Amino acid sequence: MAPRLEIDQRTIRMIAISFVLLAGLSIHRLYFAENPNAPDVLILRGETMGTTYEIRVAGKGLDERLRRRIQAETDERLAELDGWMSNWNPESDISRFNAHHDTTGFPVSHNTAAVVAFAIELGKWSGGAFDVTVGPLVALWGFGNEARIGAPPSQDEILEAQAHMGARLLRVGRGAPKAGGFLRKNDPEVQVDLSAIAKGYGVDHVAGGIFELGRGDFLVEIGGEIYAAGERPGGGPWHVAVEKPLDDGRAIQAIIELSDQAMATSGDYRIFYREGDRRISHTIDPRSGYPVESGPASATVIANSATEADAWATALMVLGDPDGLMLAHQWEIAAMLLLRGDDGIIIERRNNLFPETERP
């Protein structure tokens, strides 16, 4: 059985669960619907960002030399990502920026600046449902880096955290790729957390390295976020499966074909705790300051990049149905929400950009 996190209120106040949140903001896992023993596929696996990754390469020339080249390129790019966006590495761009309690410009890599700039734009498009400054509020509710241990936050504590949140408090200069960019705080106390987008960007960054090695048929997955390039072994689109949002056990909800596309899924059922009959999810609505209740069980997004898909999946978990699906359609993003019916049945809601799915 896959690990899940459901613990009572007393227990969650006594342990730090922040180590799972980096993987957990979109921890809803995807399965590969391929034969793992296929002879015409090269598979690499490892760990990164508090979760796991898997790379599958199809085509010819799948020898040990290629494996070493892909592994070296992947290791280098994941190390770069850690140096740019990790909240756990004290020397990363984001950690150093968060420790910079000043309103002067702070130099960061072009990559870091570009991701923060996109996140700010999505925050605007989503009316604040996606917010990379939400980290302190998430921690107040017992999740994330620097997770609070104690009673649930008071209204005053929530309002205090929200006073130091929002895209209006950040300024970004992307700069040139080699020269780097900058971030600037309008409020010295604002903090940035890219957990809801970094894995997606990591997928794109690793995929870029594999493209540079001359491969066009491969799949990269980090913590459930996917980019599928070209064709699977034997030809045709790659097959991936969306997980059914069950509190116990694992099952497949639907199988989707992907080619030169990215997919990400976020859900509320792997990291949560209960207070009486209430499910307290790690998905926090930055606008209200409270965990999302009666929202989707999961949100799956298909986009041109895993960066976009990862961030949009988080935003749709907050926006829900129908607002989230309507907004995604407006921005030409394919989206599907899985909802819990009163009778326990999982209900699918999708915009008309989302492809038809197969049943397992």
Locate 316 and state its tokens.
């749709």
Q: Domain for residue 33, yes or no?
A: yes
Question: Do 218 and 58 touch, CB atoms closer than 8 A?
Answer: yes
Looking at residue 29, its pLDDT comes to 37
Rounding to the nearest 10 degrees, give the CA dihedral for residues 65, 68, 70, 75.
-170
What average pLDDT does range 38-61 have in this prediction? 91
Predicted pLDDT at 281: 60
Residue 158 clears pLDDT 60, i.e. is over it: yes
% pLDDT > 90, the chain: 66
Residues 6+ apart with CB under 8 A from 82: 48, 49, 89, 92
283 inside domain? yes
The confidence score (pLDDT) of residue 6 equals 31
Which structural domain range is residue 266 located in?
5-83+196-321
Which range has the worst mean pLDDT, 110-124, 128-142, 155-169, 183-197? Answer: 128-142
Given a cut of 90, whether residue 79 has pLDDT beyond it is yes
* CATH for 229: 3.10.520.10
| Confidence check: pLDDT of 12 > 80 | no
The domain tally of the chain equals 1
What is the H or E stretch that residue 346 is in? strand 346-350
Residue 188 falls within a domain, yes or no? no
Query: Going along 41-158, which residue ranges are E strands?
Result: 41-48, 51-58, 106-108
In whole angstroms, give the CA distance from residue 13 to residue 267: 22
What was the pLDDT predicted at 21?
31
Query: Is residue 277, in this structure, part of any structural domain at all?
Result: yes
In a domain, 76, yes or no: yes
- Name the E strands within 150-282: 170-176, 180-185, 218-222, 225-229, 238-243, 252-258, 261-267, 271-275, 278-281
pLDDT band of 228, cuts 50, 70, 90: very high
Residue 154 in any domain: the answer is no
187 within a domain of the structure (yes/no): no
**13 within some domain:** yes
Please give the Cα distance from 350 to 345 (Å, whole number). 16
pLDDT band for 246, please (50, 70, 90 cuts).
Answer: confident
> Among candidates 115, 57, 65, which has minimal Cα distance to 86?
115
Report the percent of the chain where pLDDT is more than 70: 82
